[in-house]
Structure 1
Amino acid sequence: MPARTITPFDTDWRFVQQDAPGAEQVTFNEAGWKAVVVPHDWSIAGPYDRTNPPGRGGGYLPGGIGWYRKQFTLPASEAKRQVWVEFDGVMANSEVWLNGHKLGQRPYGYSSFAYDLTPYLVSGKANVLAVRADNSVQPASRYYTGAGIYRHVRLVSTAPTHFTYGGVFVSTPQATAAQAKVQVQAEVQNQSAAAGTYTLETTLLAPNGKPVGTIRSNQAVAAGQTVTFTQTLPVAKPQRWSPTQPVLYQATTRVLAGKTVLDEYTTPFGIREAKFVAATGFWLNGENLKIKGVCLHHDAGALGAAVPLRAWERRLELLKQVGVNGIRTAHNPMDPEFLDLCDRMGFVVMDETFDTWTAAKNHAEKGYNLHFKDWWQADTRDLVRRDRNHPSIVLYSVGNEIRDDLNSPAGFQRYKEQQDLVHQTDPTRPVTMALFRPSQSKVYENGFVETMDVVGQNYREAELVAAHEAKPARKVIGTENGHELPAWLLLRDKPYMAGQFLWTGFDYLGEGNWPEIANGQGLFDRTGGWRPVAYQRQSWWGAQPVVRLVRKAENAGAGEWVANWTPTDFDTYDDAKVQVYSNCDEVELFLNGKSLGAKPKPADDSPRAWDVTFAKGTLRAVARNKGKEVATDELKTAGPPARIVLSTDRPQLAHDWDDVAYITARVVDANGVVCPNTDQQLTFSASGPGAVVAVDNGNIASHEPYQAQARQVYQGQCIALVKANAPSGKITLSAAASGLTSGTLTLEAAPARTK
């Protein structure tokens, strides 16, 4: 058998959405409990209610207590091995038992953790793993958290001598174009009854899978002891990781007793050199790189907090189109598989721990502030040990807009202790925090920011610029920023500004005032629909020629910016304020084929504006570089709704929990133009080996259920999320509405992908 066996532990759970005293006991009667597969977020099922205890922060969705139980029988081959269970995240205040024995508890729902099952396992009989998740103490967060075992679970077994959980650390202390040094630090734990001398063997594989080199070292490990092995391997002319070339090596590390392999662990990693320089900002592999980032919360709209990997992949693909190269995990640890995606797709990451320390925040008075003093060390250490092998991570943050008094010895100490712990656990990366109104907390005057590796500040960009220029030795980065032009110009024009993280990349649940149930400041709405601010940002950050048309929704410049040429009231709309976002030398605007003039690119990157007397038809923008047409965009006036058109982000759908297809349904007129003002309800149906698992739209005030087959159209469209329930066959999806020609499309089900 393999030295290390990893068994997915996501299926065959039983769940009840209530407290169930005694449910940790083997003999507990779980009749009536629901069969579920984890990851599982029960809160997203709703319903929305203004009186739900999580309130504004939790998006007015329910909280409470949920229990999970899973029965399993250990194979005979595992009887004399070390066995533990790994949870990527349980929301929240989790308690875990095996066969009635309590293994531990974790208040922080974002932490990944593991428990040793070995002492309580029984061989040849059913074992019962029980989990209680309690987020009934509310309000606990300023944004939606979800509820339950909302990330993956796995069972791991090895020989009694093995690597510790999170104990293999691969770094690249030297990473020049000519030569790299790869350092492997591996904690080996001997849980056998006798001391032994063990061999650590590490083999590096290049991105093409070919071996780069192997190194072996020996060390004695006493019974019950943990010893750290350290090895260094050279790599000549390495392929270095970057956002434009996100290549990954692998380190396969083995523990051997003689010739017997006791444990084996493979670590993907990237060879890269990252640093922050006070005068010139961020450098990666010797190149000065502006971090053009966004903040992301951990939910995905209709899916809640239990997010299939494909949903994150789709979101990152959209952000890439805008020109985004950086992600801030706001304001908590993300799913570890999300970081794997950032590694593979090429994003630099600011990895954040907490939204609060000891001081409470509005709408989250009963949150992590109640647990910080007892748990910050374990949660910080576990985050860093889990994440430190990801080349995407270039900066840790230990707090967001912390309300603790930073103009006091206690505030200084609290930050320093966290920064020191991060450095002890991972000495290769700097630490920051997202400062809140530093002029009030006096951190620029009292010496606090001089203790920070990198000074991070939310908003008030001119204040951060002044802080650096007052003391040019300060390394600075915008940790949270708005979409406005002046903020972008400070990043563009100030060489010492390492980067910015926009608030936010996507809309997220919570932090909305009823009837709003979501925050609408994203470049994209929660379905992936483009907002005008995304078009504008693409004109600033995108590498390809960009031209995008928007207009004010109401007459004479009133209302929001919209990307359509169909007013809500044709009788009162005649003065259209039009803007064009473009990075091209010249843009010419046409209305029904007649030129309204051409305008050059402003030096300050502001949009080009026209006052247009509205007429039905086609508004068209033509962008040119050096006189050559390189991009166009057009808006057409829609007629009456006529039919539904379906499109998909992927024609093939794997039979895998982590795969999901986004089906966009658009209501169009007889000519195929989207009708932005219709609000009809569409009903979806699926046949074949697939099912609609959720529906959604971009309306931040919609209270419709997500786990349904019907959804109201918003701005002309809505979405259905489809999963495969078999490894082959054709899935046919249809959408229908009264008075409209139905839309259909076909997906192909495929076997689960190898992970």
Structure 2
Amino acid sequence: MLFLLLALATNAFSQARKIINFDNDWQFIKDDVPGAEKPEFNDKQWRTLDVPHDWSIEGSYDRANPSGRGGGYLPSGIGWYRKTFEISKADAGKMCSVEFDGIMANSEVWINGKSLGKRPYGYISMSYDLTPYLNFDKPNVIAVRADNSIQPASRYYTGAGIYRHVRLVSVSPTHFTHWGTFITTPNASASKAVVNLKIEVQNNGKAGDYKLQIDIVDNKGKVVKTVESTKNILAKGTGLFTQDIEIGNPKLWNVEDPNLYSAVAKLYSSKTLVDNQTIPFGIKKAEFIAETGFWLNGKNIKLKGVCLHHDGGAVGAAVPLGVWKERFKKLKEVGVNAIRTSHNPVAPEFLDLCDQMGFLVMDETFDTWTAAKHNGEKGYNLYFKEWWEQDTRDLILRDRNHPSIVIYSIGNEIHDDLSYPEGYKAYKMQEDVVKKYDNTRPVTMALFRPANSKVYLSGFAEQMDVVGQNYRENELIAAHEAHPNWKVIGTENTHVISQWLALRDKPYMAGQFLWTGYDYLGEADWPETTNNQGLFDRAGNWKQQSLQRDSWWSPEPVVHIVRKSDNAGAGNWVADWTPSDFDTYDNAKVNVYSNCDEVELFLNEKSLGTIKKPADDSPREWNVTFEKGTIKAVGKNNGKVVAQEEFASAGKPTKIIIEKSNSTLSNNWDDVSFITATIVDDKGVRCANADNLIKFTVSGSGKIIGTDNGSIISHEDYILPEKHAFSGKAIAIIRATKDTGKIEIKATAEGLDAGIITVEVVPEKKN
């Protein structure tokens, strides 16, 4: 009987609110097709696919493409999606909506031929009510048109199509309002916390008393507190439940231990469950203080941040969560603890991952207001006046429960006239909308050349919660020292040492966000297709700036060797001991990046001397007469070896070795594994100059979803299962296609021994 009662309760709970994954089995065509919104339209010849889907990344690079340098010279145009589905007559009393996490761009959505609305901003999430137009026990047709033909639309790559997840949601007439729950922690300490919940209920049913039960559940699944309250809600009206819940000895959310709780809310009419929702949250206290910068739970820390664009390299804008997991792991390894969502709303699961992995977030709205920017003249500036308020509101309502978010930004390098008072009025109206829906976090913007725009003198900056500035750190330092009550942060910064020292040595500097964490598509001049200012390249390879940043930001002892690629200090910094021409390379300029007290360098086991750690964190430098063999750097603290790195000169390429980022996968769109193929000599040393064409083949329960090599001048298609090696390496990203089995991946190149590896497919874990 107990098991029967539990089964009935679980079934009732699941029936109160249905959330159905709506990603599968869409029909797609890259064309503008008249009449495609009509349910009777014949789409049988269209391509069947699952979303998220970015049709732009499937295309080829072409300098003549209208997207231009901003869009990375990838295709633009118009695409249509259609999906046929049925709703049971048993659900006729429910309210049904479709939720899109993002459609790029200028989208319009229809259900059974009825237009539900348009949305120009491709980064914003949206929900449409289907209820008045549904057929029951008969086919329904959703049609979506995405128009990316208006170019140039952006200074950086946007992607195209239904590039984020879609859900079908059905609820009772009386239900929790979409994004209507707001959770804050006005008091948070290690001994006690107060969790405040404001939960809005929309009553499209009968007037009456409704009971709200809230369970606070910790990260182990234990219910730590339960509260109930009752409210009478009028028919066609709304009711707002407000509840303060005290939690003793809470587990605080922070960057080292991102502890999460869940608020499980259940709404009852009498004894009938009418709606339910579960919202994760964190208990924390975050604040910016003018004199000392940023504080989290009473601890003064620096925001060591990066800016991230929304593309994932080879997968374009349709980024599986597994790609972000791999990227976040590397960012954590290099010491990054903060992310700026430059310059637009991100996918909701991106913020979920920040919550789970302990990243602090600057959540940003727009790259433009009304003034156009070069190479993006037909972007959001065309729509700002009509849409800024709704887009800002929707971003705040959607994102405000994420504990990772500590500050909002409402603009990046805005080219509108910011002179006082007109410019501040434009800023203030946006700030007011943010604080109407979330008054617990400060608001900033990334000021552009403020000394030129006079915002430090006009009264604009002094009215900002936190003054954010891109680059020109000395201006920001001078501004704070002239106005010690100003809270300041670097919203965009380069990788040079002077900008790091501005953060390290100025206690009032709350943090900085490097441009960028990863190389991103677009904003590059042909033949380049990718902006390469990232700590890591598109394929996830370490670069000179990530190796150096590791020595500044990592809490662990590190040693990294780099050399100039060409003779006598010419060329680029590379991390190997294999010059492209041994005959002409005799003077090697070598740098070692390290946070160790002292570093000793060895060439073929002969010491080249020891250098102590410079006070300004600059690299240790050696001029080395090149010899084939090995170069090794040894780092010591208090005389003890704590870190070392060694490179050997590579011989002739003989084989491919292959590695995997994940040894198991589940049949889930978001779950991927990075397969890295490296060309090596017979001793296993990477052949850094090898550029062989590597062909990937997959058999069994998986497929390749993209290939890459990280080269900013490669014009090879990402959807092809082959890539020329860049610095001796190439990657394939794979996904499972079945619920169980094995995936065998093989990497081959002419004249080399092949590399083979397997990944196991396991059943997906259910929450």
Q: TM-score, normalised by structure 2?
A: 0.98
SS of the counterpart of 2:583? helix
Structure 2 residue 84 is the aligned partner of structure 1 residue 71 = yes
Structure 1 distance, partners of 2:90, 2:657, is 54
- The letter for the 1-side match of 2:103 is V
Structure 2 distance, partners of 1:502, 1:261, is 48
CA contact (8 A) 1:343 1:390 kept: yes
CA contact (8 A) 2:420 2:458 kept: no
CA displacement 1:493-539 (0-9 Å, x = unmatched): 10000000000000000001000001000100001000011010000
Taking only the aligned residue pairs, the percentage that are identical comes to 60
CA contact (8 A) 1:416 1:451 kept: no
SS of the counterpart of 1:44? coil
Structure 1 position 753, deviation (Å): 3.6
- The correspondence for 2:595, drawn from 583, 588, 592, is 583
- 1:706 is matched with which residue? 718
Structure 2 distance, partners of 1:127, 1:179, is 51
Structure 2 distance, partners of 1:155, 1:355, is 31
- 1:349 is matched with which residue? 361
CA contact (8 A) 1:3 1:264 kept: yes
- The letter for the 1-side match of 2:156 is Y
Structure 1 distance, partners of 2:123, 2:436, is 22
CA contact (8 A) 1:240 1:271 kept: yes
- The correspondence for 1:467, drawn from 458, 468, 479, is 479
- The letter for the 2-side match of 1:455 is V
Structure 2 distance, partners of 1:267, 1:200, is 15
Structure 2 residue 150 is the aligned partner of structure 1 residue 156 = no
SS of the counterpart of 2:16? coil
Structure 2 residue 134 is the aligned partner of structure 1 residue 121 = yes
Alignment of 1:31-110 (within 5 A): 31-110=44-123
Structure 1 distance, partners of 2:256, 2:702, is 36
SS of the counterpart of 1:235? strand
Structure 1 position 22, deviation (Å): 1.1
- 1:696 is matched with which residue? 708
Structure 1 position 196, deviation (Å): 2.1
- The letter for the 1-side match of 2:108 is E
Alignment of 1:629-644 (within 5 A): 629-644=641-656
- The correspondence for 1:649, drawn from 661, 683, 690, is 661
- The letter for the 1-side match of 2:350 is F
CA displacement 1:379-411 (0-9 Å, x = unmatched): 000001000000000000000000000014321
Structure 1 position 209, deviation (Å): 1.5
- The correspondence for 2:258, drawn from 246, 249, 253, is 246
Alignment of 1:299-310 (within 5 A): 299-310=311-322
Structure 1 position 21, deviation (Å): 1.4
Structure 2 distance, partners of 1:701, 1:75, is 53
- 2:232 is matched with which residue? 220
SS of the counterpart of 1:429? coil
SS of the counterpart of 1:646? strand
Structure 1 position 117, deviation (Å): 0.7
- The correspondence for 1:176, drawn from 174, 185, 189, is 189
CA displacement 1:582-611 (0-9 Å, x = unmatched): 000110000000000011101110000000
CA contact (8 A) 2:469 2:476 kept: yes
- 1:674 is matched with which residue? 686
Alignment of 1:206-605 (within 5 A): 206-605=218-617
CA displacement 1:349-387 (0-9 Å, x = unmatched): 000000000000000000000000000011000001000
Structure 1 position 250, deviation (Å): 0.6
Alignment of 1:710-721 (within 5 A): 710-721=722-733
CA contact (8 A) 2:71 2:157 kept: yes
CA contact (8 A) 2:420 2:459 kept: no
SS of the counterpart of 1:40? coil
Structure 2 distance, partners of 1:548, 1:670, is 24
- The correspondence for 1:723, drawn from 723, 735, 738, is 735
Q: TM-score, normalised by structure 1?
A: 0.99
- The correspondence for 2:204, drawn from 191, 204, 215, is 191
- The letter for the 2-side match of 1:327 is I
Structure 1 position 202, deviation (Å): 1.1
- 1:658 is matched with which residue? 670
- The letter for the 1-side match of 2:175 is H
- The letter for the 1-side match of 2:373 is K
Question: Does 247-256 or 315-324 show the bigger shift?
Answer: 247-256
Structure 2 distance, partners of 1:749, 1:109, is 34
Structure 2 distance, partners of 1:77, 1:199, is 25
CA contact (8 A) 1:54 1:139 kept: yes
Structure 2 distance, partners of 1:379, 1:632, is 50
SS of the counterpart of 1:43? coil
Structure 1 position 256, deviation (Å): 1.4
CA contact (8 A) 1:455 1:477 kept: yes
Structure 1 position 211, deviation (Å): 1.2
Structure 2 distance, partners of 1:425, 1:123, is 37
Structure 1 unmatched ranges of 5 or more: none
CA contact (8 A) 2:153 2:380 kept: yes
Name the Cα RMSD after superposition.
0.8
Structure 1 position 226, deviation (Å): 2.0
Structure 1 position 490, deviation (Å): 1.0
CA contact (8 A) 2:67 2:76 kept: yes
Structure 2 distance, partners of 1:408, 1:200, is 48
CA contact (8 A) 2:535 2:545 kept: yes
Question: Does 212-221 or 431-440 show the bigger shift?
Answer: 212-221
CA contact (8 A) 1:656 1:753 kept: no
- The letter for the 2-side match of 1:381 is R
SS of the counterpart of 1:572? coil
- The letter for the 1-side match of 2:303 is I
- 1:24 is matched with which residue? 37
CA contact (8 A) 2:528 2:712 kept: yes
SS of the counterpart of 1:466? helix
Structure 1 position 694, deviation (Å): 1.1
CA displacement 1:9-29 (0-9 Å, x = unmatched): 000110010111111111011
Structure 2 distance, partners of 1:434, 1:10, is 35
Structure 2 distance, partners of 1:682, 1:229, is 60
CA displacement 1:53-103 (0-9 Å, x = unmatched): 110000000111100000000023322101111100000011001101111
CA contact (8 A) 1:107 1:371 kept: yes
Structure 1 position 31, deviation (Å): 2.3
CA contact (8 A) 2:306 2:339 kept: yes
Structure 2 distance, partners of 1:586, 1:531, is 23
CA contact (8 A) 1:249 1:268 kept: yes
Structure 2 distance, partners of 1:478, 1:388, is 23
Structure 1 position 452, deviation (Å): 0.8
Structure 2 unmatched ranges of 5 or more: 1-11
Number of equivalent positions: 754
